[in-house]
Structure 1
Amino acid sequence: MVEQERQRRLAEPSLHACVQAVKQFQQQRFARTYADLLASPRYAAAARFFLEELYGPGDFSGRDAQFARVVPALVRLFPEQVVQTVLHLAELHALSEQLDGEMADVLGASPLSSLRYVQAWQTVGKPERRQQQIDLTLAVGASLDHLTRKPLLRQALRMMRGPAAAAGLAELQRFLEQGFDTFKAMRGASDFLGTVRQREQDLAAALFAAAVPPGTDCLPSDGRLGQLP
């Protein structure tokens, strides 16, 4: 699914540019929503990890290609505890790419603004998929947090660098090691993940509920929408 979406964007440069604009907008929104966590000595690294690895506009084509063969390779190469983490990541990334593509289809070539973003969000709709996106984001975080409770797993991950590189899974290896170290340093992720859940659900509800009359050029007066860029 992700590869088909990528090929569709490559065939339409304007669509690709619009998807990138959506991703950049969403990354900026995340930075505004979690400015306090990004400034927190305890939570800054985890917030930055989410910002760059789950919300960023970066090129994840290498990681996408690895997802295509992820299950057999993981079962063969990685410790059992790691498999579920990567499956959550693969599912989240596939869903996010699909939703971003649908948002871009609605937006077209028009400049992206907060108002246009709200309108596109409502046109794409499907609250259950947005909730699934939130749930999967939290599942990735919870899985990484769970891995940090396995005393020997960090050493096992380090030993997997060579085999993972040989199997073409270097990007996944990097993600896992960085995620493990980031969540280990946080010393418990419950409060962090609870904050993310609450704020993401509140914003999603505000975006779906926003009343945007035809012809208007102003956002509704809902304070929750003030975090949009």
Structure 2
Amino acid sequence: MSTLRQYRLALQIFQSNRLRRDYHDLAEIPVYEPLGEFFFNDIYGPRDFSQRDQEGRRLQHFIGWLPGVQLRDLEEVLELLDLTNQLDEDLARRMWQANVGTDFDEMTYEHFYRIADKYDERLRQLTLVRTTLYNVFRLSRSHILGLALRRLHVVACLVGIGQIHSFLQRGYEALQNVSDIEHFAETIYRRELDRLNRIYQR
């Protein structure tokens, strides 16, 4: 019998592949390609993010290192990461307990997605994705912040926040060629909201 950990990994792989399928048109726009990879790999990728997320909670003590970054900006990112983790854990556990197999299809996935009855949490997740994209895009316009991120890499590793620092740096770099985030952010929000409402028949 598969373990809960294996179901978590299977869920992450499924979701990453689903996002790549549903947003291939965005990823094929050259300026959005690095951002798409960051979105698919660093937020919804098939890997264990627990160390990075733990470091994120410690990053608030070093927020002064990042010019222009407010505590609110960091808190929204951390809320998104925490909420995504909670929703994935709940869904994986439900499928694990039902022993549906880790090779589940989209119909099975959506069945458990619906019976989890997490509409409000999913809606909050979508709102956080949109606001975080806008906030990170705004911050990515700051060359001073980019310089600080590059210079602080070694120090961040020494104080135990290397993974979250690398996560922020990759997000910053993924946005450097993007001049307008609205099309990317609103397309994701609109499509995911339509999908959410379809699954919950709202």
Shared fold by TM > 0.5?
A: yes
Q: 2:15·2:44 contact (CA, 8 Å) conserved in 1?
A: yes
Where does structure 1 differ by over 6 angstroms across 4 or more consecutive aligned residues?
A: none
Instruction: Please show how residues 1-229 of structure 1 align to structure 2 within 5 Å.
Output: 14-72=3-61, 74-81=62-69, 83-108=71-96, 109-111=99-101, 112-209=104-201
Shift of 1:87: 2.3
Aligned-partner Cα distance in 1 for 2:119–2:50:
27
Return the alpha-carbon distance in structure 1 between the equivalents of residues 190 and 157 of structure 2.
38
Distance 2:45 2:70 in 1: 23
User: Under a length normalisation based on structure 2, what TM-score does the superposition of the two structures give?
Assistant: 0.89
* TM-score in terms of structure 1 length: 0.79
Q: Which amino acid aligns with 1:35?
A: H
Structure 1: unaligned runs, 5 residues or longer: 1-11, 211-229
Question: Displacement of 1:187 after TM fit?
Answer: 1.7
Asked if the contact 1:15–1:105 (Cα under 8 Å) also holds between the matched residues in 2, the reply is yes
Query: Which whole-Å CA distance do the structure 1 matches of 2:67 and 2:119 have between them?
Result: 35
What is the CA distance between 1:86 and its match in structure 2? 3.1
8 A contact 2:136–2:172 mirrored in 1: yes
Contact 1:106 1:120 in 2 (8 A): yes
- Indicate the RMSD between aligned Cα atoms, in angstroms: 2.0
Give ranges in structure 2 of 5+ residues lacking alignment: none
Task: Name the CA shift for 1:53/1:82 in 2 (closer, same or farther; >3 Å).
Answer: farther
Contact 2:16 2:40 in 1 (8 A): yes
| Deviation by residue 1:35-71 (Cα, 9 ceiling, x = unmatched) | 1112221211111110011111212132022134232
Distance in 2 separating the partners of 1:30 and 1:107: 20
